[in-house]
Structure 1
Amino acid sequence: MYLDTEACVRAVSSRDARFDGWFYTAVKTTGIYCRPSCPATTPKARNMVFYPSAAAAQSGGFRACKRCRPDTSPGSPEWNVRADLVARAMRLIADGVVDREGVAGLARQLGYSVRQIERQVRRELGAGPLALARAQRAQTARVLVETSDLPMADIAFAAGFGSIRAFNDTVREVFSTTPREMRSRATHSKTTEPAVGADSWHHLRLRLPFRRPFLPDNVFGHLAATAVPGVEEWRDGAYRRTLRLPHGPGVVALAPQADHVAASLWLTDLRDLMVATSRCRWMLDLDADPEAVDTALSADERLAPLVAGAPGRRVPRSADSDEMAIRIVLGQQVSTKAARTHGARLVAALGDPLAAPVGGLTHLFPTSDQVRGTPPEHLAMPASRQRTVVALAGALADGEIDLTLGSDWEMSRSTLLALPGIGPWSVESIAMRALGDPDAFPSSDLGIRAGAARIGIADQQPTILAEAAAWRPWRAYAAQHLWATTDHEINHLPKG
């Protein structure tokens, strides 16, 4: 974490937005904490205190700045890069595990004791899991207060507070204002309008921040080109898909803008707001540190021109890791179009239908438990691959393979590779798009091989792997640049 005092002071003095989310600046004379890029007058260095998380600043007695809104800054890129215990814990906390299952549930998923989790998270973040979850609840409450006309009692429940009093006290403590005062100051439009044909759903519009530069082409291009009909679509300049959330189904529409991604969320249960937002950020890789990635990859003179021509590429991921793993196996050795057809057939046969269609979205992608019981006629592919799909789904449903946000990446690789019909290409593709490993690299992929050849690397597996070692730990991002040397539709922002 960026807690070197001199480096932090320089970042604050220059209002460097690259460090937003890396650390937080608290000012002893005002009792306020800010993001490094806060436009307010720079405080004297002796009055600054630096914290590794918003929760730690709040635990230290500081309240959030009303001008720079530090609780809305991009998340720390560390948690999506690292594979250690604290990073795995942070990914699960962001996905709402502590709110749903408590710290005991978090520890159970990670395979450690509550005491070990508490100690390690507190040592690095300056606050324990409960405080971190509380900070997230406060941010969820703020979003609902400012973007909806819901009654405060409903917001308190949706944000995960046990009582109206706890909700009011937390908002007052964190933001130095009351929920009603916060609502009265909100200037952007509020809406709870329902999605088309889904009168019981809540509709919310959010702005998802990111670190610049951000190149949306390959992220949205990939998601749109591989979209499974019924579950995903590109419509009116936005990628839309259904979401299977802890308390019910949801639908999201994501549209790239100059300084944020515009998100429209339709939720059947507002308690899922934080989880849905977190999964959208994960899917678009919005918490990445593009300058660190691009600087590292540019050290290779063969990659440097590609990076310079398209800075800020992200790695497209999935909102559901089990779904992505199954789809990758469905797409083994077939075209993008054929993979979509296989997925659509599975969705139509097994997916849970929405109460009413939302545009072209009609179903949730089937769960791994539903897929493992699929009859052969729903899998129009060679018998060997049918067996692989069913075996993978069964292993996921039984918990033999863990692809959750808290999984151990190398253990997941080993258990996947042990399944018949799953080879290195599938394992690395799953590691890239489901697990989010920034160093995943499916070196045998035809697009990567073609891209490697275009920059002067011989099309031989040992050679490609040897040359790609210089790109670690960012080989998943290097893969995006290699794929982009072709004219495939996954590399272009869709039209319309």
Structure 2
Amino acid sequence: MELDPDTCYKAIASRDRRFDGRFFVGVSSTGVYCRPICAVRTPKPQNCSFYESAAAAEKHGFRPCLRCRPELAPGHGLADISGRLAQAAATLIEEGQMAESGVAGLAQRVGVSERHLRRLFEAQFGVSVLEYAQTQRLLLAKRLLTDTVMPVTEVALAAGFGSVRRFNDVLKARYGLTPLAMRKRAADAPADQFVFDLGYRPPLAWEALLGFLAARVVEGVEAVDGGAYARTLAVSSGRRTHLGWLRVEHVPARSVLRVTLSGSLAHAIPQALGKVRRLCDLGCRPDVVDRHLGVLADDLPGMRLPGAVDGFEIAVRAVAGQVVSVKQARVMLARLAAAHGPLLPQTHGPLQRCFPDAATLAALPAGALAACGVPPAKARAIQAIAAEVAQGRLLLEPPAEPEQTVARLCALPGVGDWTAQYVAMRALGWPDAFPATDYALRKVLEADGVRAVQAHAAQWAPWRAYAAVHLWRRYEESKP
């Protein structure tokens, strides 16, 4: 992103939320850096410098603003910037990947050499991979100290610091503060759960997103109630898998989603928050997407691409949904989760079990899926996908290359283009995925076949996945 100082200054002067997270402003007169929407008095132009990332601002000696809290800024979507690989790496860093495998493991996850990743990252963000990771650790620690009552020792470990002493030294050197100085709101936080705000760029069509998720709720795993979405969650961190639950509700006055996590996810907070960001597509630029979709988005601006907390789960949902109604697929998936999903340590209302993982389903004996009402062809497809994921041959998360992933999926028994494109949309968050063979899309477009659907959809590239969500909505609304 080219940072034109005049454009950036106009954005901060107007507190334009469309630029939130797109850049940060360092203010030389105060020594802090802010989001473009910070409510403080607008600084003089000569005191402002602009940076692509929080890490770049900190590299130049600025401390995070305690009022606008840069750690709450929304991130970038996959198609927002040219450096898709660098952004994928940044997302993994924000979700704690560096603490587990270092730069070498990070490069392996995004499919490039370590040297190439370092070069891409420096060019995209203006800082090294390690500098970016250090800033993310500090911002997470700042958030935990501000918003929770976790002991300082637990905060240091959750943020990826090896010791409390190291954490204290870095915090004091970078921010000039001690951990206790940041605990201004923590006294009001519940002890058995964690509450965080995740920012987005308005508008956000929350009711439509919630409606999409509600129509596909799997009993025992998910629930929609009172304008909020809740579900169980299994998060691998280090050598452990943490089981818990989350709840997401909309706070439109602040342009945030309020996320509540169960206390059992204390050691997997960055991973859990990253999953919510992907599920709700919080990196989206609705101004860009809606402008490109034109009249298709006019009656519902800010529609997000519904994502996933787990790519393998989406793949199973896609196979279960082949040539059956959404209701029939839900029944099938609920039986599968009840029979093979791990039970939560402490159930939470209707939330009882996590969705079974790939290793579990791959190891099931013949006939186990049939006992859950899964037809033989779908059972073979699910177990083929499960085996590929469990063995590490197939990655169903955003760092995966979309075209290659679609091709690998289509090579498996029982997996066609519709299933692969649906997985690319929701599991990979790929904005240009488009299931052209979908019956509802063909009906609402009044098209004569797949080629006609593809020809009509070409006008919406590279945002065809968003177009598909709008078209599905119109199809549902057209039903008698």
- Quickly say closer, same or farther: Cα 1:144–1:78, change in 2 above 3 A: same
Alignment of 1:266-285 (within 5 A): 266-285=262-281
Alpha-carbon shift at residue 282 of structure 1 (Å): 0.9
For residues 29-70 of structure 1, give each alpha carbon's deviation from its aligned partner in whole angstroms, at most 9, with x where no partner exists.
332111122232333333322111101111111111122222
* Contact kept? 1:34, 1:68, Cα under 8 Å: yes
Residue 438 of structure 2: aligned partner: 445
Shift of 1:173: 4.4
Alpha carbons of structure 1 residues 422 and 137: separation in structure 2 relative to 1, 3 Å? same
After superposition, the Cα gap between the structure-2 partners of 1:173 and 1:221, relative to the gap in structure 1 and judged at 3 Å, is farther
Structure 1 counterpart of 2:474, one-letter code: T
Cα separation, 1, equivalents of 2:65 and 2:173 = 12
Partner Cα distance (2:381, 2:154) in 1? 45
* Residues 488 and 351 (structure 1), Cα distance of their counterparts in 2 relative to 1, 3 Å cut: farther
Q: CA deviation at 1:141?
A: 1.4
Matching residue's letter, 2:14: S
On the 8 A contact 2:244/2:344 being kept in 1, the answer is no
Higher relative contact order (CA 8 A, sep 6+): 1
Name the structure 2 match of 1:196: none
In the alignment, which residue of structure 1 is the partner of 2:328? 338
Q: Deviations over 1:188-212 (max 9, x none)?
A: 831113xxxxxxxxx1111221110
- What SS does structure 2 have at the residue aligned with 1:328? helix
Residue 486 of structure 1: aligned partner: 475
In structure 1, what is the equivalent of residue 155 of structure 2?
Answer: 155
Q: Which residue of 1 aligns with 2:188?
A: 189
Rate the CA distance shift 1:30–1:146 in 2: closer, same or farther, 3 A: closer
Equivalent positions of 1:40-119 (< 5 A) are: 40-78=40-78, 84-119=84-119
Q: Which residue of 2 aligns with 1:216?
A: 206
In structure 2, relative to structure 1, the CA distance for the partners of 1:359 and 1:314 (3 Å cut) is same
The answer to whether the Cα contact below 8 Å between 2:157 and 2:163 also exists between their aligned partners in 1 is yes
Offset of residue 323 of structure 1: 1.2
The answer as to whether partners of 1:241 and 1:251 remain within 8 angstroms in 2 is yes
SS across alignment from 1:319:
coil
Deviations for 1:136-166, whole angstroms, at most 9, x for unmatched residues? 2222212221222222122212222112233
The reply on whether 1:251 has 2:245 as its aligned counterpart is: yes
Verify the 8 A CA contact 2:418 2:435 in the aligned structure 1. yes
User: Cα deviation per residue 1:74-106 (whole Å; 9 max; x = unaligned)?
Assistant: 112356776832122123223221122111210
Residues 351 and 364, structure 1, Cα contact 8 Å, conserved in 2: yes
* Structure-2 residue corresponding to 1:422: 415
- Cα deviations by residue, 1:260-309 (Å, 9 ceiling, x for unpaired): 212110042422111111110110111211111111111xxxxx1x4221
Is the Cα contact below 8 Å between 1:64 and 1:70 reproduced in 2? yes
Q: Structure 1 pair 110/240, CA: closer, same or farther in 2 (3 Å)?
A: same
Partner of 1:309: 299
2:372 paired with 1:376: no
Is the 1:218–1:480 contact (alpha carbons within 8 Å) kept by the matching residues of 2?
A: no
Q: Match of 1:246, SS?
A: strand
The separation in 2 between residues aligned to 1:22 and 1:163, in whole angstroms, is 33
Contact 2:369 2:379 in 1 (8 A): no
2:451 equivalent in structure 1: 462
The CA RMSD measured in Å over matched residues stands at 2.1
Indicate how the Cα distance of structure 1 residues 42 and 81 shifts in structure 2: closer, same or farther if over 3 A, else same.
Answer: closer
Are 1:249 and 1:267, in contact at CA under 8 Å, matched by a contact in 2?
no
C-alpha change, 1:173 and 1:335, in structure 2 (3 Å) is: farther
Q: TM-score, normalised by structure 2?
A: 0.92
Q: Which runs of 5+ in 1 are unaligned?
A: 194-202, 299-303, 492-496
- Give the corresponding residue for 2:286: 290
Alpha-carbon offset, residue 71 of structure 1: 2.2
The 2-side partners of 1:173 and 1:473 are apart by 44
Taking structure 1 as the reference length, the TM-score comes to: 0.90
CA separation of 1:165/1:29 partners in 2, compared to 1, >3 Å: closer, same or farther?
same
1:338 CA displacement:
1.1
Name stretches of at least 5 consecutive residues in structure 2 with no aligned partner.
none
More divergent stretch after superposition (9-18 vs 62-71): 9-18
Question: In the aligned structure 2, how far is the partner of 1:391 from the partner of 1:171?
Answer: 48
1:200 match: none
**SS of corresponding position for 1:244:** strand
- Report if aligned partners of 2:145, 2:186 keep a CA contact under 8 Å in 1: no
Distance 1:425 1:452, change over 3 A: same
SS in 2 for 1:120: helix
Give yes or no for the alignment of 1:355 onto 2:345: yes
* AA of the residue aligned to 2:378: R
Secondary structure (helix, strand or coil) at the match of 2:400 reads coil
Q: Is the 8 A contact 2:149 2:186 kept in 1?
A: no
Kindly provide the amino acid, as one letter, of the partner of residue 190 in structure 2.
T
1:32 and 1:94 map into 2 onto residues whose CA distance is 21
**Aligned-partner residue type, residue 287 of structure 1:** G
Distance 2:410 2:74 in 1: 34
Letter in 2 for 1:260: V
Q: Distance in 2 between matches of 1:237 and 1:57?
A: 37
Given that 1:284 and 1:316 are in contact with CA atoms closer than 8 Å, whether structure 2 keeps it comes out as yes
Question: How many Å apart are 1:482 and its aligned residue?
Answer: 0.9
Contact 1:345–1:378 (Cα < 8 Å) also in 2: no
Post-superposition shift, 1:14? 2.4
